[in-house]
Chains A and B, each alone.
Chain A
Amino acid sequence: NAGVTQTPKFRVLKTGQSMTLLCAQDMNHEYMYWYRQDPGMGLRLIHYSVGEGTTAKGEVPDGYNVSRLKKQNFLLGLESAAPSQTSVYFCATTPSISYGELFFGEGSRLTVL
């Protein structure tokens, strides 16, 4: 029972490079989220999706793009990485926003040099 799986778990990029983080869930949840977590700050929402084929901007969307072509997958893309995007990225899912509990992946640690 995998739950929520993020790949890759670690990545080092050079400024200007691009990459994609994959979040895969086997819980059949409609809602999926991408957060970033930086020291001393709460989780900040980057983008989210309320169902297959839908995406919406969160609190800090600049520099990121997302896609949800299949219900079970939510991709986060960095087109031109910047050092300010060095962070830990978490994917989370929930069956509905009013449910309250989020189920998280283990996180992806990204360093941009």
Chain B
Amino acid sequence: RKEVEQDPGPFNVPEGATVAFNCTYSNSASQSFFWYRQDCRKEPKLLMSVYSSGNEDGRFTAQLNRASQYISLLIRDSKLSDSATYLCVVNTREKSNYQLIWGAGTKLIIKP
């Protein structure tokens, strides 16, 4: 089992719809969680951190479920410009070492 797993998609969604996808992680010692966005042939960029209480940034909502070991990203009122690959990242601390583990990404395509 991969340490961080994502559905590769693609998720084909009409403009204006709501879409959500999850990311599961295997290490219960994981401490912090992030969603990155990566446009085609570009570098990843931080979209948002994921806090225990959940957090919202405009149309984007991130949630953490520690009991089931997954994080989620919800996008409301999707725009064409939301088309991208969304990468989840899990920061795990073991002893004094931090390790960032990346999911392979979920591809999202917003259609007009």
Contacts and interface: CB of A to CB of B under 8 A. Distances in A.
B104 A41 contact: yes
Interface residues of A, number: 16
B45 A104 contact: yes
Count class of interface residues, chain B: 20 to 34
A44 B4 CA distance: 12
Contact of B102 (A42, A100, A101): A42
A44 B91 CA distance: 14
Nearest to A48: B100
Interface string A72-113: 000000000000000000100000011011101111000000
Nearest to A38: B104
Most buried by A among B34, B87, B98: B98
B42 interface: yes
B44 interface: yes
A107 B105 contact: no
Q: From DSSP, what is the main secondary structure of chain A's interface residues?
A: loop
A40 B104 contact: yes
A102 B42 contact: no
B8 A40 contact: yes
A88 B46 CA distance: 19
24 contacts: A40-B8, A42-B4, A42-B102, A42-B103, A42-B104, A42-B105, A43-B44, A43-B87, A43-B102, A45-B100, A90-B44, A97-B100, A98-B32, A98-B91, A98-B98, A100-B34, A101-B46, A102-B44, A102-B46, A104-B44, A104-B45, A106-B42, A107-B41, A107-B42
Interface of A: 40-45, 90, 97-98, 100-102, 104-107
